[in-house]
Chains A and B, each alone.
Chain A
């Protein structure tokens, strides 16, 4: 039997998920995978922060209250990132919820790491 090289599978750990999507972390690649709006996109540290900033900066209330005839679609484009999202308002709210949950979980993970490993003598 010949040895076939099989690329080691990437291990994902779920950070947070909602009904609309999930975010996974890959420790081996030091990045996150966002499963949202029908695609799985890879985000490194810088890009995840840029995505967070872009989504948090959207004034959802303002879009809800405007009565002009513009499409209720936002394009989230992140500089130097391969992905781009074109989202409806409902999706933006869902993505924001997903990101908020994710950052709470990442904060929690930071606290756990501190308590379990970094502060132990």
Chain B
């Protein structure tokens, strides 16, 4: 008897479901960053707004990367519905706290997919995920560094203005 399911798709149902959840997560991230950009722009933090615009675009690229992988491997990529995006933040600092939380949750979720791939010996998907792990290293660093600026520079006086100016200049260089 032919193994039709394997012939049609490289991905197991579980991995495909997880990848589709990740597609949704990346789309959600992208929308959240866009919302953060709007908040920053509204409140006079123009450099931070630019920073979040860039982040939103990056998350969108990640989403498409997952999307295309699922399709190329014979799976069904699902275009996600994104709702309930927060519009208001209590403070400038809170925006960056949530940005870091968002990145951490993305890293954890990709780790979860990798764990499943290990279990199923899906080394193909695992190799595909490696690119994202490297990317998350940078993303988490940048988000953590941005938050650090609040402590290093301080929010008093012209502190927030200084923080805003420095956010766009954060670069991650591999040691």
- The chain A residues found within 8 Å of chain B, CB to CB, are 13, 15, 25, 27, 30-31, 45-46, 49, 106, 109-110, 113
Contact = CB atoms under 8 A, between A and B. Distances in A.
Interface residues on B, range: 10 to 19
A110 B1 contact: no
Interface in B1-56: 1-8, 13
Contacts of A113: 3, 6
Most buried by A among B2, B3, B4, B13: B4
A77 B170 CA distance: 53
Interface in B105-142: none
5 contacts: A25-B4, A30-B2, A45-B4, A49-B13, A110-B5
Contacts of A31: 4
A27 B2 contact: yes
A42 to B, nearest CB: 13
Interface of B: 1-8, 13, 76
Contacts of A49: 13, 76
A45 B4 CA distance: 8
Give the dominant DSSP class at B's interface. Answer: helix
B1 A27 contact: yes
A109 B8 contact: no
Contacts of A27: 1-2
Nearest to A31: B4
Given A13-B1, A27-B2, A45-B8, 4 more contacts: A30-B7, A31-B4, A49-B76, A106-B3
What are the 10 A-B residue pairs with the smallest beta carbon separation, nearest first?
A113-B3, A27-B2, A45-B8, A110-B3, A13-B1, A110-B6, A109-B1, A30-B4, A109-B3, A106-B5
A25 B5 CA distance: 11
Contacts of B7: 30
Contacts of B3: 106, 109-110, 113
A30 B1 CA distance: 10
Contacts of B2: 25, 27, 30
